Structures are given as C-alpha cells and as structure tokens.
Copies of this chain bind each other. A is one copy, B any other.
Amino acid sequence: MQEITIAYQRLLEQHGYKYVALYHALREGILNGTLPARSRLPSTRSMAEMYGVSRGIVAEAYDLLLAEGYVEAAVGKGTYVSEQVVVEHSHRNDKQAYKTDFEAKGKGSIDQQRNDRSTPTLSRWGHRIVQLDARQSVEPPNGRALEQEKVQLQSQLNSFPAHAPISFCPQDLVLQGNSLADWKTALTGASQDMQSAAFTEEMSTIGDMRLREAICTHVGRTRGIRARPEQVMLYSGSQEALVLLCQLLINEQEPVVVEDPCYTGIQKAVGAAGGKLIGAPLDRQGILPADWSARLLFVTPGRQFPTGAVLPLARRQQLLQWADRQNAWIVEDDYDSEFRWGGRPLEPLKALDHSEQVIYVGSFSKSMFSALRIGYAIVPPALIAPLIAAKSLYAPLPSSPLEQRALARFMQRGDYMRHLRRMTRLYRPRFQELHRLLNGRLSELFDWIDTDSGLHIYGSWQLERSQYERFREQALELGVQWKDASLYQIATGAPAVCFSFAHTDEQQMQQGMERLELAWQRTLE
C-alpha cells in the first residue's frame, strides 16, 4: 500500500477532498496493477487508521469505487478489486491511456502500434470524452450508489446502531399511488396504439407528434411559450439535446459561455465538442450579463442550477440583447420548473424570444420518474432541419416510442397536471420544513440561497474549508450525507452543498438536523 499512500498525498493536494483523493489513489492502484484483480481491500477501520481519516471517508471512497464497478462488495465478505474492471481499464494511467490519432502518428509506423489493442487509438473526440468521463466520475454517489452505501454503513458502522443513514442526496424518483395507476393505464393504451398502422405515421425521427403537441399545450399554459409542435424535438433526456446542440453549433476551440457553477452535463457537452468553457460569475440573483465574445450561452434563468437563484427580468432582457448583438444562441435549460412552492414564475427567456435566439430545454425525469428517459427542446425554426439531421444520424426512429406515446396520453388526459398537483402537495411541507431547519440550525455554517421552486436547497460554506471537511467527515460518521456541489464549480470557490428533500419526510429531516448539530459540535472539539 506504500504506492497508494504516496498517490493519496499527491492527490489530496490536487483535489482538496480526502474522500476524492482516496478514491483516486485506490483507482490508480487498481488501474496500474498495484492492487491486482480479486485482491481484498483493507477494512474501512484499518484504512482509516492507515490514512488518518474517519471510517466514513473511507466508506465514501469505497462507495465511489463500488458505484463504478472498480470493486465489488458483499456484506460480511469485505471489498475486492473487481475482475472485470481491470480488463476494461487495462492501461497505465488516465493521461497515458488513450493515444489520439495525432500522437499515434507522431510515434511511428503502424507496425509499432501492433498488438497494442489494450490502449486503442481514439479520435480527438474519443480522447476528449474519455478524459471527461474520468474527470466527472468523481462526482459523489447518487441515489443508486447510496443504496450500496447503506449496506456498507449499516454493516461497517455497527458501532452506531442508532444511526441509520439519512441522505439529503437526490434519489431516484418513482411513481406512486394514483399517479402510478394512471401511468399504467397510459402505458396499456400506448402499447395498443403501437401495434396499429397509424402509430408509425405519427412517429417521426424527432418523436411522437402527439407528445410534441401535448408539450406545446403544456408549456403554453404553464410557461407562456408559444410554439408549434414541429419546433418540439424529443430526446432521450435533456442531456442528449445539450450534447447534440454543442456538436451542431460549435467547433473545437470555440468559446461557450456557461454559468459558474453549472450542471456537469453541460460542461461535458461543451468539452466533448472541444469547446472552451467560459465560466460566467453569478450573484444571488443568477448570472451577471456581460459582453462575452461567444456564439453560444447555456443558462438556467428559471432556477439556476445548482444555486436556485431566479434571474430578474432586466437581466433576462440583457441576455437576449447580447444574443441579438452577437448573433448568438441561448440554450435555456428549464430543468426544474414544475414544482413551485410560492410566488409566480417569471417568463422564461423563450417566451420573450422575439428574434428566435433561444433554445428551450426541458425534461420529465424529475417531474415524472428517473427512469423515464424523455427530454425535449423547443427550437427556433432555422434549427429544425439541422436538428432533425443530427437526430436521424443516430436513429431513424425515436428511441422510446412506447413511453413517448404513453406520456402523450398521460398529458392529454390531464393526468400529468393532476400528478404535478399531487406531488406539489406532498413535497411542499417537506420543502418548508427543510427550509426552516436549514435556516435555523445551519444558518451559521452555510449561506442558503432562497428559492421558490425545485427539489433541492443550495448553500455555500461560510467558514474555513478545513472546517467543512471535518464537518462532512463527522456527518458521514453519524450517517448523514448530502450532495457536495463543489464539483459543479469551474473556478474553485467555497465548498457548497445541495440538500434534496423530495424522497424524505419531516421526521427524518429533523433527525438529520439533530445529527448535523452533533457533527458540528464534534467538529469544534
């Protein structure tokens, strides 16, 4: 483990976070063969002693490795290096792993590359996305990974039997009750539609025309957006729309303006196309308009991701004026507008978009359920044909026609609005309680940004970074976890957090806060 320890020290300086550094050190060890396949990792207890960190930190690093398949774990049997992943990632280290074509050519003849199949020569695009994938994979575990962590925490932290894990991380959302019953009815209907001749006639490359009509009606009613169904392009989630827009609109080395911090998916989309990220600073009201020299801007005015800031009307107009001057496109990602806790929403940019500069992107993964892979973009007429060409390159037909039709039926019958009202009733008291708790007990530690919609609350740390690290460790020891939002930052800023509440309840949140108070006391000790 000597090599791992050296790597850990180096990575700790680089990343700042202990669990991230430990994760990277172990991952490197697995990839370079220091930790061979089927070898057993030390227990969290001995790792914690070895590295002078808490067992929670070790558990979190192990959990990331688990979530990505580098290691395998079974309760009571320990954690082993996965056999599979060593084959998958059989290269020396991240930086040297994949040669671009340019490098390969520079190195010599094809003969020299022979039998070099474990390190394939990738295109420039391939090289970029593999690098991006390695960078993004340090994001803290999501709902799924957390399930695995629960097992770990419960088995490994059995000295804290009272501390059943409480997570404020976003979790996979599923349908329940009447919403689920309505969805099943819609699916049955869609399944019948699917075997009729008329079905394929209403399906084009960019999606089921009935769903596109239903979305037009919905955004017209709830967001004031006037669009025709032909302007609505359906995708396998909004990320596909973001990536294809970048491919279509920017070349390598072109500047693209994004909010700092912003959704990592946008950073990946720009990076994959080879674009240069220009991080635009935010204040508590969102992005600060400037005279960027760029032709593409990604922005979340309705509710900034991740901060939750709502962009004032004057700034919205400034952005549109900028786009008009620069002949630029604005991609408005309205990822989280369906659940509102108070106040009236401002008009989205798309509703103010008189010169057809704005591409409006939305999704159903949060408002319906996580496994429903349907997102959409409402686009200016000039982009319809290029976007059809882009989508039809990958597939001549929509990727999930059954679910698209089911969602069309669900929306047309009014089930979707009923579902949103039902969920709003369910989530509002949770939002209010979390808001109350955070602004009470944790208001000295974090600067919480007020928000009137969405499924999480964002705060930035007000004290020393080292104190945040200790606090997070103590919280993990007590079984409390949240989504670390620092990874959304482009320029490094103060530690930041997102607390999600949709999956939890008032009692759990209160218990969580009590433990966080205890964690803070221990941090100060």
Q: Which of B110, B250, B370, B397 contacts A326 (CB 8 A)?
A: B110
Is there a chain B Cβ closer than 8 Å to A307's Cβ? no
Is there a chain B Cβ closer than 8 Å to A236's Cβ? yes
Across the interface, do B373 and A237 meet the contact criterion of CB distance under 8 Å? Answer: no
Residues of B within 8 A of A120 (CB): 249, 329, 382-383, 386
List 10 A-B pairs, minimum CB-CB distance, nearest first. Answer: A133-B389, A236-B399, A399-B399, A126-B248, A400-B400, A87-B381, A88-B384, A113-B327, A129-B389, A123-B251
Across the interface, do B237 and A269 meet the contact criterion of CB distance under 8 Å? Answer: no
Within 8 A of B (CB), among A338-390: 355-357, 370-371, 373, 380-386, 388-390
A399-B236 Cα distance, complex, nearest whole Å: 5
Is there a chain B Cβ closer than 8 Å to A184's Cβ? yes
A90 to chain B, nearest CB (A): 7
A271 to chain B, nearest CB (A): 9
Across the interface, do B248 and A393 meet the contact criterion of CB distance under 8 Å? Answer: no
Closest to A236 in B: B399
Closest to A253 in B: B101
A324 to chain B, nearest CB (A): 8
Is there a chain B Cβ closer than 8 Å to A13's Cβ? no
Interface residues on A, range: 35 or more
Is there a chain B Cβ closer than 8 Å to A412's Cβ? no
Residue-wise interface mask of A (143-182) relative to B, using a CB-CB cutoff of 8 A (1 in contact, 0 not):
1100100000000000000000000000010110000100
Binding site for B on A (CB under 8 A): 84, 87-90, 98, 101-102, 110, 113-126, 129-130, 132-133, 143-144, 147, 172, 174-175, 180, 184, 187, 191, 194-195, 197, 199-201, 203, 228, 230, 236-237, 239-240, 243-244, 247-251, 254, 268-269, 272-273, 295, 324-327, 329, 355-357, 370-371, 373, 380-386, 388-390, 392-403
Show 29 residue pairs from A and B whose CB-CB distance is below 8 angstroms, ordered by the A residue: A87-B384, A88-B381, A90-B382, A101-B251, A101-B254, A110-B327, A113-B327, A114-B327, A117-B356, A120-B383, A122-B386, A123-B247, A123-B273, A124-B251, A129-B386, A129-B393, A132-B389, A133-B392, A184-B191, A199-B371, A203-B371, A236-B394, A239-B394, A240-B395, A243-B394, A272-B393, A373-B395, A373-B400, A402-B403
Closest to A136 in B: B392
Closest to A131 in B: B389
Across the interface, do A125 and B254 meet the contact criterion of CB distance under 8 Å? Answer: no
Known: A129-B393, A236-B236, A381-B88. A195 touches B175 (CB 8 A): yes
